[in-house]
Structure formats: structure tokens, C-alpha cells
Chains A and B, each alone.
Chain A
Amino acid sequence: MSTQLKATVLLFVSLFSLIVLISGFVYLSVSNYAYDDFYKLLEIRALTYAKIEIEKDTSSYARQMAEIKNEYFEKLPLEQVVAISAEPGKSFAGYADRMKLPPSFFNEIIAKGKAEYNNSSLFYKGIYYKSGATPYIIIASAQNYFETHHKAYLKKTLILAVALTFLLAFFISYFFSRSVFNPITKITERVKQISSENLHLRLPEQSKGDELGTLTRTFNDMLDRIETSFETQNNFISNASHELRTPLTAIIGEGDVALAKLRTSEEYIDTIKVMLEEAEKLEKKTKALLFLAQTGFNGKIQKFEKVRIDQLLWDVKDTIEKINPQSKIHIDTTMLPENPRKLKVRGNEQLLHLAFTNIIMNACKYSNYQTVDISIGASDTKVFIAIKDTGIGIPPNEVKYIYDPFFRASNTNNYEGYGIGLPLTQNIIRIHGGEIHVSSIENKGTTVQINLPVGEFDF
């Protein structure tokens, strides 16, 4: 059952049952009121009759009553008032039989003082009346005009109203649910059309503030991201194969040339040297790629242990100075927190070492081996590491691409590199739950800020 149908049925049922309930209530309360009213009317008739007829000689009050009755009392259809003397012990069975009333009616009058009875449209009200010492039973009866005419009309009107509401409720719920679900159906149809071939398609955004507008926008944002990642992946493959092919082409070319004719042994040695160099380059690149792939996966569980950031940075400094003796790295300890516990993070030392080596080596390389400043500080929840160089910087419009694999800024042509280091570093920092911010002014320098969550170790 579709949600639209469900909503239609639900709305319809609730609307319809509401109307039926209200109609029933109106019908019952109106007829109840009319009955009560009519019985009261009959009681007054009975009382007036008693005053006028039974006590006609004794009071002038009775005469006045008779005048009022004649002048103002409306004659009810089939109106009839009967007075029966009711001495104690008298049997009313004969009266009951004649008037077609049940004997219990009379008993009730004797016991309670009054009783009501109705037989289809004929209504009876009996009262017990005592004039002097003689008791009477006075029974007023008349046809209830409401019962014969109004009630049927009310019933007819209400049934008609319910029938009309049935139709109306059906149409209202149908069109309501259709208008609610129509945009969703449209979105579904549109999304169905989008596949990997036409990822550039977007959903039309009509309404701004409502939930459907938000849904559309969310879909479009998601499509943006999917499209970008598709493109990145395509680029990655083409870039990677290009990067790997360059040294391979060189190796093949060298081999071809060397085999074209017989060479001297020096020439062979030279050729093999070139081939070896290129093969080493190839190995470096594949290694870096492998690392990038490994750190990119979240499924792989790295071993995380306690790492002290300042120690790690001193290690990194040693490593870099060993690899490249002209690097000048200055670790600024002025902002170290007084409590060394705040410098411990939970992490994989090899990975963090690799990440910081990458960042700091980049800083050295792109600043032509001028001094690189590193500063460490800690807030209560994070360790901050700032790495500042005074190098060539990054052009402002290229900053957003620096984490793309194989991307190299336009001003880096004089420097060697593959464009794998920064994405790799970002992956590593992400694995550790940290953040990396790169801010740069072209030709003035770059500052990299890395923050890692504090490990909360006891010692």
C-alpha cells in the first residue's frame, strides 16, 4: 500500500467518522430534548385539567385557569385528558385495557407520583393528584408532532448530510494527499533519470523554505559531491597511470636504444644506471600510492598508542636533517603547556611521523631551505601544531585543490614532487580525528595548522 493511498484512507476515515459521530450526537440530543419537552407539556395539561375540572366549584382560581387555558393553550393533536379516582386498593386493569396502557404505568403513578409512556407517536403522562381527601390519577395524552414530522425530517437531513460528507471527504482526502505527494513523486521520477552517465542533471528547485525544497537541495548537494568524487576518481586513475608511465617509457626507451646495436660496456653501464634510477622513481611512486590507498581505507585498523607530540616532532626534525642536511628547522618551545600530559595524543607513531615529515619537508623544500618554524601548544581538548615557512606560498585560487591527489600548484614547476604528500597527510590526520588547515599568502609563506585531540592518558 503506497503512502499516498494510506494518507488518503486515513484522512477519509477520520473525516467521515467525525461527521457520523457529530450527526449521531445531534440526532440523539435533539430527540431527547423534544421528548422531555413534550412530557412537560403533557404534565402541565394534566395539572390544569385537575385544577379546572376537579376543583371547579371550590375556587375562583380554577375559573381563571380555565380562562387562561381556553385563551392561550394550543390544542395538541389527539389531545385527551382523563381523570380516574384512585382509592387505595382499586384495580386499574380495566382502564389499562381500555386505554391500551400497560398496568405497570398505573402502578408507577401510585408509587412515584408520576409516570411516562409512549406508544409510537402517542405520548402519555400520568400524575397522582390529591383533591381534599380523594386521590385521582390524571392521564394526559397527545400525539407528539415532533415524533411524527420533525424527527423523520431530522433523520433525512442528517443522512443526506452524511452521504454528502462521504463524497466530500473522499474528494478532499484524495486531492489533499495528491497535492502533498505529487512533488515527492516528481522528485522520485527525476532522480530515477539520473545515472552515472548524466550526473550533471539536477533536480529543479521551486519552493525555497519548505521541507521539499530542503529535500531537493540535499539531493542536489549529494549529486554535487558524487559528481566531484566521480571526476576525482577518473582524474586519479589517469594521473596515476600517467605518473607511472613516464619512468616506464624512459626505461623502455633506454632499453630499445641500447639494444639497437652492439655497445661498449661503459655505454651499457650508463644505460643500466639510467634504467635503475627510473625504476627507483617508479618504486617510490608506487610506494606512495600504496600508502595513500592504505590510509584512505577506514576498514584497516591501525594500532593506536600513546604518542607525545613534542618528542615526535624532534624525531621528525632529526629524520629530515638526516635526509637533507641543508634543512633548517626551529622548534619553538615557548608555547608548550606546563603540564606535559596535554601533549599526549592517541595515534599511530609511524603514520604521524610520516604526516609531519611530509608537511615539514614541503615547508623546507618550497622555501628554498630557509628556517621553518614549528610551534606546539595545547588547549584542554586539542594539541595544536603550527608549521610556518617563508616560501613561495600557494596561489589563493588554488588553495581548495591542494588535497586532490596529483594536484600541484602552478608555481611549483621548479620543485620536484608528485602531489601525493598532502592528501596522504590529510588522510592520516583524519584517521586520528584531527584537522588540518593550510593558510597561505603567495610569495610570503604558508602556515599549516594541525590539531589533534588530546589522548587523556593518566601519566
Chain B
Amino acid sequence: MKTKRILIPTDFSVSSLNVLKTVLGSNLHGEKYDIILLHGIRMNDSISDLLFFSKNNLLRSVSNPEFDHALMVLKNKYASSIQNIRSDVFTGYNQSAFNSYLEANRIDEAYVSENYCHAKAGKQSFDVSPYILKSNLKVNGVRLATQEIPEKGQVAEILLNSVPAR
């Protein structure tokens, strides 16, 4: 079976992984996914920053251990339906840059939460969902439960959150 490459916007909070969990949890046909978690960062255009640009360092600066562990929990849970999963940063400024990003990475589909408000992981972070919605990509909306829970932001959130009906 062909692997489906999907794009999910993330803000490196455990809550944002609920979208991923919903997607993987509703995968009843045993499809395989190649997942890209995309985070938008406005790059500083100074020459020295460009010179020392490293995507790994950038990702490390916005990520956090809770998120990494929660992602690993999901990865272990859905090991058979995940071909590959990686985080990526989008540093473009406009829609056409985003469109070429989609083309370059051969994205098949995107999943966007309809009611989750992205937090700012770093100073220069931005939400890529508007770009996704404006692109020609097939976009699936996901609704997340939004009640107040004590375990917000911990790995427990992803453990306890039961998959909502789509």
C-alpha cells in the first residue's frame, strides 16, 4: 500500500499532538503514514544568522522534552501505521513559498484542528494553519475536546484523551 504523506501544524505543545492522535486513531484501514509536523518560524534575515543556520538547532530551541516524550508514546503506540515521523520548520514569508514547500515535500494531505489555538513556542513562531487552508491541498478538519483538564501540557494529556468522533 502507498504511504500517505500528511502535514500537521504543531506548536510543540502536547495538546497539539491530539490532532495526530485523532488521525492515527481513526486509521481503520491499516494505511501507512509519513508524517511531517510543521512549525512556522520567522527567520531573522541577518547574514550571520543565515551563515550559522541549523535546522536541528532551531528545532531543539522550540521543542521541549514533554513534547518529545508524548510524540514517542504515540510513535510506539501506532508503530505499525507510521512509516516515518519528523518535525520540520517552515521559514517562508508568503503563500507561494508555502506552496512550493508543499510541492517540494510532496505532501498528500493536511490535518488541521478547527478549534485549537496555537501557542507561540518561540519568539518568532507563527501558526502555519492559514497557509494550509489557503493552499490547494486536501485539508481535513479535526475537532478537539476543549474542556479544562488538570493534566494540560503533560504527557498524561495524550494518554488520557480518548479519541473523539470525527
Task: Show the binding face of A for B, using Cβ within 8 Å.
Answer: 332, 334-339, 342, 373, 375-382, 384, 386, 388, 393, 437, 439-441, 444-447, 449, 451
Contacts and interface: CB of A to CB of B under 8 A. Distances in A.
Contacts of A384: 69, 73, 155-156, 159
Contacts of A337: 73, 76-77, 79
B72 A379 contact: yes
A444 B150 contact: yes
A375 B160 contact: yes
- Give the dominant DSSP class at A's interface: strand
Contact of B148 (A338, A386, A444): A444
Contact of B160 (A382, A444, A447): A447
Given A334-B162, A338-B79, A377-B159, A449 B154 contact: yes
A386 B76 contact: no
A272 B149 CA distance: 49
Contacts of B128: none
11 contacts: A375-B159, A375-B160, A379-B68, A381-B72, A386-B156, A388-B156, A388-B160, A444-B148, A447-B151, A449-B159, A451-B155
Which of B25, B75, B77, B80 has the most A CB atoms < 10 Å from its CB? Answer: B77
B41 interface: no
A378 B72 CA distance: 7
Given A338-B76, A377-B73, A378-B73, A332 B162 contact: yes
A386 B77 contact: no
B158 interface: yes
- Chain B, interface residues (CB within 8 Å), range: 20 to 34
B163 interface: yes
B150 A447 contact: yes
A447 to B, nearest CB: 4
A22 B73 CA distance: 70
Contacts of B158: 335, 377
A381 B65 CA distance: 12
Contacts of B154: 437, 439, 447, 449
Contacts of A376: 159
A384 B69 CA distance: 9
Contacts of B152: 439
B105 to A, nearest CB: 25
B20 to A, nearest CB: 13
Interface string B133-166: 0000000000000001111101110111011000
Interface string B74-109: 011111100000000000000000000000000000
Contacts of B73: 335, 337, 377-379, 384
A449 B66 CA distance: 12
Contacts of B77: 334-338, 377
